[in-house]
Structure 1
Amino acid sequence: MIMASEEPFAKSKTGIKVIIVGAGKYLASFLAKCHRQGHDVEIYESFPVLKVLGDIISFGSNAGRIFRRWGVDGSIAKTMRTLSIDLVKHGFKIHKYTGEHIITQMTPPMDPDAPVFNGHRGELHEVIFNYAKDDLKIPIHLGQKVLQYFEEDDKAGIELEGGEKVWADVVIGSDGVRSKARELVLGYFDKPKSSGYAVFRAWFPNTDMLADPRTAHFCNNGDTFQGWIGQDVHFLFSTIKNGSDCCWVLTHKDEADIDESWSFPGKLEDVYKVFEEWDPLCKTIVSKTPESHLVDWKLVYRDPLPTWVSKGGRTALLGDSAHPFLPTSAQGATQAMEDGVTIAVCLRRAGKAQVQDAVRTYQRIRYERVKAVQKTGETTRDMWHKADWDKVKENPESVQFPREDWIHMHDAENHAEEVFDENLAAVKAGEKAVPEKMASGVDSKFDAVTTVKEVSIAGEVEVNGTH
């Protein structure tokens, strides 16, 4: 058992009913926090059954400290890998696309109070899903497609495909960038645009890697992490679970004209084309991938949302529905967790009579921090894709993966408690939902970040039927 539903530190009941649409990978953050804060929660999910699909997912230390505080990190660690001794020892080896080793970025030892988790997203989701269903006893309604969202002055609701309407004090749309909640919140349909990028991804057992002396050492040395960077392309490869599993991600240019991000079965021959004139080892690694395990994700983007909260203040967006992330941020799931703990705290602190102000306060606390973290995914990708090799030769550290304290040291739960009163007062005074200065305490150098594009990444193949 992860955590008893009668946990002694749960707050008294608030009487606030919350409907969550979408049983995604980060729903535990919102469920656990709502449970602890005394709210009544129900989940509606369009997919009829849980499927353990997908590939690698990471949770930064800013998520790990939340898991640790709740006591759920032990069960997650059985499925995921915490930052291993192997990775601390070997580091992240960064190469030029031709194979030349540029730098090994060493990983600092893990903070036991804020562990980092890496693992298979489907396996993690299974742990989270069962935690919600079996330990917290949260009602989860599968096979329930939501046709529309609506709200009145004193309640919000959803209409299901069968015609049934379900009401609550608050409705949270956490079912991705195609969520119909976005239309209610925005008042219009935000049409996606071409991003010019796609991602090939794969997760597979080490069988064929071990059989080839050119690749066996990656799996015989525990957990390892390698990267190759080139013009408009980067390739990341890692072994996990003590070298028993392998996974890789290849981000590249792709001009596919599609209406929305989507995932398709991938073809190895298409991956090989991207690797022309690259280090032959990259193609060798990919050749060990069973083609049935390869996914081709087409990416589109949307303009940043001007708001995550409906005019009525009873419908809010969370996670990918509000702010999709580029893979190079390595923060998408973690930021969704920060969303969840923040809105749950705000609802409890404000109380049932002030639900609308609580939801607006959630946005005010989170909006600018999220926008700044999103920007790191874009800047990291561009740092690799547009590298000036003469300058890199002089300064190899310039292509290291950024690990900034303002992201990873952040404690979203404590922060929400600390800044709630001032932000609620600002909302009540009619100040705009997004402050001039970040309510999250992010360094002011990010105050001017306004150009982040929302990248819609399908294929996070979850229970979520909208993906």
Structure 2
Amino acid sequence: MQDSDFKVVIVGAGLGGASCAIACARQGMRVVLLDQVPKFFPLGDSVGFGSNSTKLFKRWGLYDDMWAISSRAQESVMRNYDGTIITTDPTLGEAEKTYGHKGLIGHRGQYHEIFIKHCKKNGVDVRMGERIDRYDVIKPSIFLQSGEEIVADAVIAADGVKSTGRTQVLGFEDAPIHSGYAVWRAYSDAAIFRDDPLISPLLKAGDTTQLWIGPDQHGFVTVIRDGNEINAVLTHKDEADISEGWNFPANRDDILQALEGWDPLFKRVWEKIGNIIDWKLVYRPCLDKWVADSGLVAIMGDAAHPFLPTSTQGASQAVEDGATIALCLAKAGKENVPLALHTYFAIRYEYVKAAQQVGISQRDKWHNLHDKETMEMTKELDTSKGILDSYHLWIHDAEQEVEDSWEKISSIINARGSKEEAANARL
């Protein structure tokens, strides 16, 4: 365990930042976690975690709290856009046997509350309503808009796609690009559907995950909490300019028009569900620099490698980043933070880069199975390994990867640093 003099500041208290805070605190570090939001509310829709992250939650003590509010679905049903069942995927029910741990699906906001509770339980100093004015990547430190400076041994920017910390790491502004797609998303109490003849049988069947695929779009309906809550998402093409933001109230008529000819059950969900958000999907390729030149500030999660929802791995990969950072810092110690953060990057980069591409290939596969004019499915879909191409990532163990590769990779980075220092000394 590291002593409490090892101080880590994490900017951004989302699922990734909070995971990093918990992991660092469990390694004995003194952690300050900041977010600009004054107060978190249990808002949002569903999020999934693969077995690769749930094994970490078990070690960290979060799993039981998360499982208590998670879906009990044992399978995922994939349907053609017209409602015809393509396949039934048993992975959710068999994940513990196949990958060693269950996957989890539940309400993002409710999971987030659990993460923040466990941050505080592990002694993390959680500070809300704090806007960051600038970073000093040399000390390192952050300056709040109030004028307060917080000095640390390491600073981690987990502040999402619009990360300001990323600018400090890269030395220039790297704006995200629009993916060409958007997602309509909504979450609701299922009570409004209980008397609906189309949807009530779905609710009575208990927790379920249903997927519809069609030309240029796909959608999910997830029922959780014993049929008491329902989540709907629909990914579709969208070329809107999102330079000023990407969350907007949705126009229901646009959604129903996009679903013309689709399964009446799926369409009925969108006819009745409220509080629909139009979420423009921004994207950037996995950055090839995550650590500032000083070696004392690093970025993680969406700030470094935003995932498309079709990967179903965005949250899990951010959790893995946090686990890797914490263990690398613990192994290097406070006097060797640059070694820790450069090793973190070296361990994660190629793996995450490949994982990020799964979301793109998955979307393109689902969206191009049909003839755009006739709506007929013209390509065969291989579902022999399940409905998701990302299942192979579920076996990964981020902490074990550090244990297995630390000595080799950190030695290479140490040697490289020594050579660079010697070269600079000769100049």
TM-score by shorter chain over 0.5? yes
Give the CA RMSD over aligned residues. Answer: 1.9
State the match for 1:444 in structure 2. none
State the match for 2:410 in structure 1. 424
Q: One-letter code of the match for 2:205?
A: N
Matched-pair contact (CA < 8 Å) for 2:162–2:175: no
Matched-pair identity in %? 40
Instruction: Determine if the alignment matches structure 1 residue 198 to structure 2 residue 206.
Output: no
Matched-pair contact (CA < 8 Å) for 1:192–1:259: no
State the match for 1:378 in structure 2. 360
Residues 330-380 of structure 1: per-residue CA shift (max 9 Å, x gap):
111111111111111111111122111111000000111111111111111
Instruction: Determine if the alignment matches structure 1 residue 392 to structure 2 residue 380.
Output: yes
Aligned partner (choices 382, 392, 400) of residue 414 of structure 1: 400
Q: For 1:386 and 1:404, locate their aligned partners in 2 and report how far apart those are by CA, in whole Å.
A: 21
What is the DSSP-based 3-state SS (H/G/I as helix, E as strand, rest coil) of the residue aligned with 1:182?
helix
State the match for 2:113 in structure 1. 126
Distance 1:269 1:137, change over 3 A: same
State the match for 1:354 in structure 2. 336
Matched-pair contact (CA < 8 Å) for 1:392–1:399: no
What is the DSSP-based 3-state SS (H/G/I as helix, E as strand, rest coil) of the residue aligned with 2:140?
strand
Deviates more, 1:191-200 or 1:26-35: 26-35
Distance 1:365 1:359, change over 3 A: same
Residue 30 of structure 1 deviates from its aligned partner by: 1.3
What is the DSSP-based 3-state SS (H/G/I as helix, E as strand, rest coil) of the residue aligned with 2:358?
helix
Instruction: Determine if the alignment matches structure 1 residue 285 to structure 2 residue 272.
Output: no
TM-score by length of 1: 0.83
What is the DSSP-based 3-state SS (H/G/I as helix, E as strand, rest coil) of the residue aligned with 2:378?
helix
Unaligned runs of 5+ in 1: 1-10, 432-467
Instruction: Determine if the alignment matches structure 1 residue 175 to structure 2 residue 159.
Output: yes
Q: For 2:324 and 2:86, locate their aligned partners in 1 and report how far apart those are by CA, in whole Å.
A: 40
Distance 1:194 1:33, change over 3 A: closer
Instruction: Determine if the alignment matches structure 1 residue 27 to structure 2 residue 17.
Output: yes
Q: One-letter code of the match for 1:295?
A: I
Aligned partner (choices 199, 206, 215) of residue 215 of structure 1: 199
Residues 9-65 of structure 1: per-residue CA shift (max 9 Å, x gap):
xx2416321000111123342122212212111112111112221110111111111
State the match for 1:46 in structure 2. 36
What is the DSSP-based 3-state SS (H/G/I as helix, E as strand, rest coil) of the residue aligned with 2:8?
strand
Matched-pair contact (CA < 8 Å) for 1:149–1:180: no
State the match for 2:424 in structure 1. none
Matched-pair contact (CA < 8 Å) for 2:283–2:307: no
Matched-pair contact (CA < 8 Å) for 1:51–1:122: yes
Instruction: Determine if the alignment matches structure 1 residue 237 to structure 2 residue 224.
Output: no
Instruction: Determine if the alignment matches structure 1 residue 68 to structure 2 residue 58.
Output: yes
Residues 244-294 of structure 1: per-residue CA shift (max 9 Å, x gap):
11111100011111215521112211211211232232211212202xx21
Residue 417 of structure 1 deviates from its aligned partner by: 1.4
Q: For 2:365 and 2:245, locate their aligned partners in 1 and report how far apart those are by CA, in whole Å.
A: 24
Aligned partner (choices 277, 290, 297) of residue 279 of structure 2: 297
Q: For 1:396 and 1:29, locate their aligned partners in 2 and report how far apart those are by CA, in whole Å.
A: 32
Q: For 1:216 and 1:342, locate their aligned partners in 2 and report how far apart those are by CA, in whole Å.
A: 44
State the match for 2:374 in structure 1. none
Q: One-letter code of the match for 1:345?
A: L
Residues 381-437 of structure 1: per-residue CA shift (max 9 Å, x gap):
1110011523327x56598322533x1111111111121111111111228xxxxxx
Aligned length: 408
Distance 1:193 1:69, change over 3 A: closer
State the match for 1:447 in structure 2. none
State the match for 1:460 in structure 2. none
Q: One-letter code of the match for 1:329?
A: S
Q: For 2:316 and 2:178, locate their aligned partners in 1 and report how far apart those are by CA, in whole Å.
A: 26
Q: For 2:386 and 2:7, locate their aligned partners in 1 and report how far apart those are by CA, in whole Å.
A: 47
State the match for 2:137 in structure 1. 151
Distance 1:350 1:189, change over 3 A: same
Q: For 1:57 and 1:118, locate their aligned partners in 2 and report how far apart those are by CA, in whole Å.
A: 6
Unaligned runs of 5+ in 2: 371-376, 418-427
TM-score by length of 2: 0.91
State the match for 1:404 in structure 2. 391
Distance 1:396 1:114, change over 3 A: closer
Distance 1:30 1:193, change over 3 A: closer
What is the DSSP-based 3-state SS (H/G/I as helix, E as strand, rest coil) of the residue aligned with 1:392?
coil
Matched-pair contact (CA < 8 Å) for 2:8–2:31: yes
Deviates more, 1:107-116 or 1:225-234: 107-116
Residue 106 of structure 1 deviates from its aligned partner by: 2.3
Q: One-letter code of the match for 2:346?
A: R
Q: For 1:420 and 1:14, locate their aligned partners in 2 and report how far apart those are by CA, in whole Å.
A: 23
Q: For 2:386 and 2:380, locate their aligned partners in 1 and report how far apart those are by CA, in whole Å.
A: 7
Q: For 2:195 and 2:178, locate their aligned partners in 1 and report how far apart those are by CA, in whole Å.
A: 41
